[in-house]
Amino acid sequence: MSDPRVDTRLSVFKTYKLYVGGKFPRSESGRVYEVSDAKGNWLANAPLSSRKDARDAVVAARKAFGGWAGATAYNRGQILYRVAEMLEGRREQFVREVADAEGLSKPKATAQVDAAIDRWVWYAGWTDKIAQVVGGGNPVAGPYFNLSSPEPTGVVVVLAPQESSFLGLVSVLAPVIATGNTAIVIASEKSPLPALSLGEVLATSDVPGGVVNILSGRTAEITPSLAAHQDVNAIDLAGADEVLAKELEIAAADNLKRVLRPQTVDNAQWFATPGTERMTAFLETKTVWHPTGSLGASGSSY
Amino acid sequence: MTIEKRSSAFEYAPAPESRAVVDIAPSYGLFIDGEFVDAAEGRVFKTISPSTEEVLSEVAQAGEADVERAVKAARKAFEKWSALPGAERAKYLFRIARIIQERSRELAVLETLDNGKPIKETRDADLPLVAAHFFYYAGWADKLDHAGFGANPRPLGVAGQVIPWNFPLLMLAWKIAPALATGNTVVLKPAETTPLSALFFADICRQAGLPKGVVNILPGYGDTGAALVAHPDVNKVAFTGSTAVGKEIARTVAGTRKKVTLELGGKGANIVFDDAPIDQAVEGIVTGIFFNQGQVCCAGSRLLVQESIQEELLDSLKRRLSTLRLGDPLDKNTDIGAINSAEQLARITSLVEAGEAEGAERWSPACELPSSGYWFAPTLFTNVTQAHTIARDEIFGPVLSVLSFRTPDEAVAKANNTQYGLSAGIWTEKGSRILAVANKLRAGVVWSNTFNKFDPTSPFGGYKESGFGREGGRHGLEAYLDV
């Protein structure tokens, strides 16, 4: 006789929620939409974010910016590495979610998740090196100390790639926060669940609330107000199609947001080791001058 | 005896620089594919000397057909120019730099005539920097593999460049030197009020033997610039000018593959702490806002003074302003020249009137303005609040707004309270305070215990609505490379 408990146990579904300001709200609109796997089977209901949710995310990201940008690069690196650690522990869950979302076999989904975890580690190592690579002293023709250093641009809206629901997402998010920006991520519209689960990992990885905010819903519905938002400093159009990208770039001109245009990246290319472009796209260069004075022209021989 | 009387007792003898060193032709064409040609539609406009309103020359005005022709010439030239070994491109740029040095007195006088700025500035600031920019970027041409953008970085193609009237030749150098060093060809539109030095530069290209079509110059108005920016065969857009036009350009290039850099407006804060060396700070404030009649995008137009020294500093500043000499820009003793155009003078005047109407207190030293030309006396406003138009809008003239603060945090908050983020100044003897404040300022260039310093090796550019991209230095190469 079989154990009746096995036969009758109903699995516990997960209610997926947004991740805004370190909390997990439902959409302010109270709306959800059906998310299916690659074969069209229902997986879960994801929050259908409203423009109000987007505005709340901007407020949270702005509030978090000073602290995150002001944290030491070493500290940011530690936290990014912590994200990788926490992901490693929930590897199986993400493999399942990515396999479901993208219709991948288990080995293929595993490769995606492993690459995504490794990417966090890669960017964790960049936080305290980027300034040395892209900044430096300038030999001006005069008695001045003159130093250029990179600084984060501010609040960055990231349209996650539509196809690569997790590796693509991590590949565009990690560089933005590695350099001290705060982010509002619009998850892949079709496959938002790995992104929403990532929020749960970030919340337990010492990433301060508001540094990353994750919204799910209709990309074309949420993003125009973010592209036009006066308190957003930059936008990464990775997940926008050509028509939407142009519309958002025009809206972004209103306060001269930094715009990273969509690049043609197929799913295989996300595996390649990135360059620094995704970091430098959201950095400003600050140059500080100071007189050095002169100790006289007598020509000391050291 | 009042200050005014004493200064008249020791009046300077005029020391005018001779105009004879420059030979301005009665008319100029467009410079396309190595030749001076008429505009397709035959339109011309006059360029005048802002200090006398004298017509200097008649200049061809480029239209859409001319933009088409120039871009085509640049595209054709691009093939060979970009294929040239970097070392050879470098030599052309070194030649240009040398010729600029040789002709610098002529160019300084020309620039002063066409722009209205004092000869002291064109001679000692503009021209040396122009030559230095070509020298600096010349050296990069054969070293691009070492610039940190990966091996073998490629040029973008044809660069469409639109420059303003405040530093006509210097802005040309900022744009053309890195473009050519990286293997791009250029079509450049100088401003309608100051086209002459760019046309003289065309002659320098001829003397240097630069291949035809590598540099094309199209004088014209805003519509010429708009046509250039929108041209489908332009790969790179570089613009220096107003924030409003910069936004329009950002919209124009949306959805295209054009790379764009924008150097836009500013409203620089110059912060003076109570331990600052007052005399040096006063000099820095004067340089910050009265250099080039304040027609500088990174001008320190908002003075933030720590409350405890406000009175002392203002007394000192007013005394110093009373010694500034306004008048003939060709006179070597002149500190303040003419405003660039009647239009610009009207803009400054209306903003200053708004400042008075909103209750700020206006002060200028006793100052006689010449009867012809466009002039505005050095002006400072006290009782300014952050809500005032003059504290928020860029005036782009010799007008300083004075605000006060009590704590470093308040200074930073006030300095950052603007949509601009180009420049800022800090005056204090305390090193840690300089570093802490510089760290918190959202501005692309921070001058501490100095102001308005420029150098080709030093990147320049803004945060926020002051635009994006950097010009100058290694960073300036990125704008012209496919990276």
ipTM of the complex: 0.95
Q: What per-residue confidence (pLDDT) applies to B31?
A: 98
Q: What local confidence, expressed as pLDDT, does residue B6 receive?
A: 45
Q: What band does B10 get if pLDDT is binned at 50, 70 and 90?
A: low
Which of helix, strand or coil describes residue B396? coil
So what's the pLDDT on residue A1? 53
Provide the shortest C-alpha distance from residue B118 to chain A (in Å).
Answer: 23
Distances in Å between the alpha carbon of A151 and those of A130, A154, B424?
10, 9, 16
pLDDT digits (tens, 9 = 90+) for A74-113: 999 999 999 999 999 999 999 999 999 999 999 999 999 9
pLDDT above 90: residue B1? no
Nearest-5° angle of CA B113, CA B295, CA B441? 150
Tokens of A114: 């492993």
Which residues of B fall within a CB distance of 8 Å from A242?
255
Whether residues B455 and A250 touch (CB distance < 8 A) is answered with no
* Reported pTM: 0.95
Distance separating alpha carbons of residues B235 and B261, to the nearest angstrom: 12
> Average pLDDT in the B41-45 region?
98
Residues of chain B whose beta carbon is less than 8 angstroms from a beta carbon of chain A are: 132, 148, 150, 243, 246-248, 250-251, 254-255, 257, 262, 264, 419, 434, 438, 441, 443-450, 453, 455, 457-461, 463-465, 467-468, 470, 473-475, 483
Report whether pLDDT(B84) > 80. Answer: yes
**Nearest-CA distance A155 → chain B (Å):** 11
DSSP assignment string, B455-480? -TTS-B--SGGG-SS-BSTTHHHHTT
Active site residue B297: yes
Interface of A with B (CB under 8 A): 133-134, 136, 138-142, 144, 146, 148, 153, 233, 242, 245-246, 249-250, 252-256, 258, 261, 275, 277, 284-291
Radius of gyration of chain A, Cα coordinates, nearest whole angstrom: 22
pLDDT at B421 over 50: yes
The residue to which tokens 């290209």 are assigned:
B205
Q: B74 versus B11: which is more confidently predicted?
A: B74
Inter-chain CB proximity A256 and B251 less than 8 Å? no
* Residues of chain B contacting residue A286, judged by C-beta atoms under 8 Å apart: 438, 441, 443-446, 463
pLDDT in tens, A198-230: 999 999 999 999 999 999 999 999 999 999 999
Q: What share of chain A is helix, strand, coil (3-state, %, to 5)?
A: 45, 20, 40
Specify whether the CB–CB gap between A179 and A283 falls below 8 A.
Answer: yes
Q: Is the pLDDT of residue B471 over 70?
A: yes
> Quick one: pLDDT at residue B82?
98
HSE (CB half, 13 Å, CA atoms) of B144? 29
* A141/B457 CB distance under 8 A: yes
Q: Tens of pLDDT along B87-140?
A: 999 999 999 999 999 999 999 999 999 999 999 999 999 999 999 999 999 999
- Per-residue pLDDT at A268 exceeds 90: no
Average pLDDT, chain B: 96
Q: What is the 3-state secondary structure (H, E, C) of B289-320?
A: HHHHHHCCCCCCCEEEEEHHHHHHHHHHHHHH
Q: Residue B194: what pLDDT?
A: 98
Are the beta carbons of A144 and A97 closer than 8 angstroms? Answer: no
Length of chain B: 483
**Using the 8-state DSSP alphabet, how is residue B124 labeled?**
I
Nearest-CA distance from B163 to chain A in Å?
19
Shortest distance between the Cα of B65 and any Cα of chain A, in A, equals 27
Q: Given an 8 Å threshold on Cβ–Cβ distance, is B250 in contact with A252? A: yes
pLDDT band per the 50, 70, 90 thresholds, residue A264: confident
Confidence of residue A293 (pLDDT cuts 50, 70, 90): confident
Contact in structure between A161 and A172 (CB atoms under 8 Å): yes
Which amino acid is present at B99? I
Interface test with B, best of A181, A232, A242, A256 (most B CBs within 10 A): A256
In angstroms, the CA B436 to CA B408 distance is: 9
Kindly report, residue by residue over A35-67, the tens digit of the pLDDT.
999 999 999 999 999 999 999 999 999 999 999
The single residue of B297, B367, B471, B478 carrying the catalytic annotation is: B297
Which chain B residues are Cβ-neighbours of A274 within 8 angstroms? none
Nearest neighbour of B463 by CB, restricted to A261, A284, A291: A284
Measure the CA–CA gap between B314 and B322, rounded to whole angstroms.
12
Per-residue pLDDT band at A267 (split at 50, 70, 90): confident
pLDDT of residue B483: 87
Residues in chain A within 8 Å Cβ distance of B255 = 242, 245-246, 249-250
Tens-place pLDDT, residues B280-302? 999 999 999 999 999 999 999 99
From B318, B329, B323, B244, select the one nearest B292 (Cα to Cα).
B329
Query: Is residue B11 flagged as an active site residue?
Result: no
Backbone phi, psi, residue B88, to 5°: -75, -45
Task: Report percent pLDDT > 90 for chain A.
Answer: 91
B187 closest CA partner among B16, B69, B14, B96: B69
Q: pLDDT-based confidence at A265, cuts 50/70/90?
A: confident
Confidence at residue B4, expressed as pLDDT on a 0 to 100 scale: 47
Give the three-class secondary structure for B112.
Answer: helix
Tokens coding A250: 């025009």
pLDDT band at A120 (very low <50, low <70, confident <90, very high): very high
CA B129 to chain centre: 12
> Percent of chain B scored above 90 by pLDDT?
96
Put simply, the answer to whether B446 touches A287 (Cβ < 8 Å) is: yes
Residue A299 pLDDT exceeds 80: no
Q: Which of B246, B450, B468 sits opposite A144 (nearest CB)?
A: B450
For A125-183, the DSSP string reads TTTTTHHHHH-EE---SSSEEEEEEEEE-SEEEEE--SS-TTHHHHHHHHHHHHTT-EE
* Given B17, B192, B263, B394, the catalytic residue: B263
Contacts of B97 (CB under 8 A, 6+ apart): B131, B132, B134, B135, B138
Section B366-377 average pLDDT: 95
**What would the mean pLDDT of B418-434 be, rounded to a whole number?**
97
Tokens at A15, concatenated: 């209610």
